[in-house]
Structure 1
Amino acid sequence: MRTSILKSLKPDIIVEILEMAVAFENWKKVMETADILYQCVQRIYEERQYHKAMKLPIPHVNLERPLVYYFGLSHLMCGMAHQNQGAYEQARECIYKYAELGWMEDLEGEGLLVVDEFRFLAKTNLYTVEILSGNIELVEEYVGFLQDNPEEILPGLNTILEAALMYHLDVEGVLHTLAEQIDEFGDYEDAENVSYYYKYCYHLALYYRKYDKLQAAVKLAVQAMHIANQLGNDRNFKRCTALFELLREWATVEQISEYRKMLMQCLDEYETGRDSIMKKVNE
């Protein structure tokens, strides 16, 4: 990308675009945007280093976070995109890039804290990639890591359940070990953890369906549908609808009624939105 274009870009705005692409699970867009973010901050860093070497005043760029954060985020998001597409080797390469960001000069204070945060994320995400790529002997070690880092248990369980579905693993022991922490998942209110909780319910529903725990699978499918609806995620809501239909014959009358109410609510919201648009058009 041309330097003139890069100079006009604002890293924090690129981050917002990146987060939107992740929310919509548009992994191609995530990789493209992450690359633009990397090029943008690389230009800023090189310009700073040039001015420093020439003993010139360092150009000021308005950033919400230390520059090292944007380097780390660009690699993190690119790795996430590769991981979600099953390209585990490429995801691993991205992880190595943000595992050690200490190569940057003039790191101090908040910048050093950011380096430590990305180092921890690299350790966490390397477990994920290794397990999803088939190194299932790491699951026991990973569970220990999760117990030492409770804030990682919810996303970590999603990794374990995905691996269980891919490699036909029995993870009942893991669910039992972490049962106390699992009971707290429904209390989360921040968007990131609610999103993780949706994935947990959905993956566990698939896991229980696979192992013929069908009533439990129905309950989790309905729960996942509620969360997807709460988040306004139509794609995930459709997935839950499809899963519920596969499990319908094992659902109770109450669960079917609850399911229909959610569908009617979605239909009412669609009709209300359409009527509002038509009203504006006709004004």
Structure 2
Amino acid sequence: MRPSFLKSLNLDVIVEMIEMACRLEKWDKVVETSEILYECVQYLYQEQQYRKAKSSPLLRIGLGHPLVYYYGFSYLTRGMAYLKMENYEEARVYIDKYAEMGWLEDLGEDGLEVVEEFRFLAQANGYALELISGQVEVLNSYTAFLRENPEEVLPGLDVILQATLRYGLDVDELLKMFAEQTAEFSTYEDDENLEHCYSFSHHLALYHKRAGRMMDAMEQIVQAVKLAYRSGNDSHATRSLALFESLRDWATVEQVSEIQALIKG
């Protein structure tokens, strides 16, 4: 790849493309674009190492993150996509890849921080993979991990609810344990947390419905619909409105009015 072309690569634009595919739940596209990101960052890294070995000037490329970030992001998103597609073997391959990226040379202080961040994410996502794939014995260890790392409580509880629905677990006591944190979920504003909040509310509604707590289920599904409209995600809105209709007999007049106002708006 010519140096002039390498300089023109905009890895941050590719990252944005992957993030958009994730929001649209186009998991094949996530894998495809993440592979392109990996190939680009690999070319850049190899070119820089070649120039270093030859004592040539390094390429000056404007990047929003240290180079190692793009390696980690390409691994992370492929692992997430394979997890969503229930290809657990491939998901584990990529979690293992971003668990240890210290082999890269010339990381610098910022790069080492990125390596540590991805190592932590690999630990969290490793628990999620094990639980979703049926290793329910890790639930206690995962719960302890979430208690020690409050920033992971929202995505972690969503994973636990998904596993609970799949494997028939009872997590009432666990939800009470994290009640203080879950009460704060509705205050989150950023896109990533809004996505997690929506998913958590939708799955919690299904969990309450399974337990016969229809009014609790209705409360959560109304919250999910609100979050879907707030984030502008049509597929989420359609999914949660269908669940709302299945629970409509337990809706209050106010809840029906809220949903109708969202639809008309």
Shorter-chain TM-score: what band?
over 0.9
- Residue 179 in 1 paired to residue 174 in 2? no
Compute the displacement of 1:9 (Å): 3.0
Matches within 5 A, 1:88-99: 88-99=88-99
- In 2, the alpha carbon distance for the partners of 1:108 and 1:59 equals 17
Question: Structure 2: which 5+ runs fail to align?
Answer: none
- In 1, the alpha carbon distance for the partners of 2:172 and 2:44 equals 50
- In 1, the alpha carbon distance for the partners of 2:88 and 2:216 equals 32
Aligned partner of 2:41: which letter? V
Residue 251 of structure 1 is matched in structure 2 by: 251
- Residue 188 in 1 paired to residue 188 in 2? yes
Query: Could you list the per-position Cα deviations for residues 24-45 of structure 1 after superposition, in whole angstroms to 9, with x for gaps in the alignment?
Result: 1111111111000000000001
Residue 270 of structure 1 is matched in structure 2 by: none
Matches within 5 A, 1:228-247: 228-247=228-247
- In 2, the alpha carbon distance for the partners of 1:6 and 1:138 equals 47
Q: What is the aligned-residue RMSD (CA, Å)?
A: 1.3
Distance 1:261 1:68, change over 3 A: same
Mapped contact 1:96–1:122 kept (Cα < 8 A): yes
Query: Could you list the per-position Cα deviations for residues 49-104 of structure 1 after superposition, in whole angstroms to 9, with x for gaps in the alignment?
Result: 11111221212222111100000000001001111111111111100000000000
Aligned partner of 1:140: which letter? N
Compute the displacement of 1:19 (Å): 1.1
Aligned partner of 2:213: which letter? K
Residue 71 of structure 2 is matched in structure 1 by: 71
- In 1, the alpha carbon distance for the partners of 2:87 and 2:171 equals 24
Query: Could you list the per-position Cα deviations for residues 118-167 of structure 1 after superposition, in whole angstroms to 9, with x for gaps in the alignment?
Result: 00000000000010000111111111100100010000000000000000
Mapped contact 1:100–1:119 kept (Cα < 8 A): yes
Compute the displacement of 1:246 (Å): 0.6
Mapped contact 1:146–1:152 kept (Cα < 8 A): yes
Matches within 5 A, 1:16-165: 16-165=16-165
- In 2, the alpha carbon distance for the partners of 1:151 and 1:105 equals 30
TM-score, structure 1 as length reference: 0.90
- In 1, the alpha carbon distance for the partners of 2:109 and 2:223 equals 43
Indicate the SS of the match to 1:109. helix
Mapped contact 1:30–1:81 kept (Cα < 8 A): yes
Aligned partner of 1:175: which letter? L
Mark the structure with the bigger radius of gyration: 1
TM-score, structure 2 as length reference: 0.96
Mapped contact 1:6–1:43 kept (Cα < 8 A): no
Compute the displacement of 1:253 (Å): 2.0
Matches within 5 A, 1:257-276: 257-265=257-265
Aligned partner of 1:124: which letter? A
Query: Could you list the per-position Cα deviations for residues 175-232 of structure 1 after superposition, in whole angstroms to 9, with x for gaps in the alignment?
Result: 0111111111122222221221111110000111111111111111111101100110
State how many pairs are aligned.
263
Residue 224 of structure 1 is matched in structure 2 by: 224
Indicate the SS of the match to 1:199. helix
Higher RCO (Cα < 8 Å, 6 or more apart): 2
Residue 9 of structure 1 is matched in structure 2 by: 9
Residue 167 of structure 2 is matched in structure 1 by: 167
Distance 1:41 1:249, change over 3 A: same
Question: Structure 1: which 5+ runs fail to align?
Answer: 266-283
Identity %: 49
- In 2, the alpha carbon distance for the partners of 1:101 and 1:20 equals 25
Aligned partner of 1:35: which letter? E
Compute the displacement of 1:6 (Å): 6.8
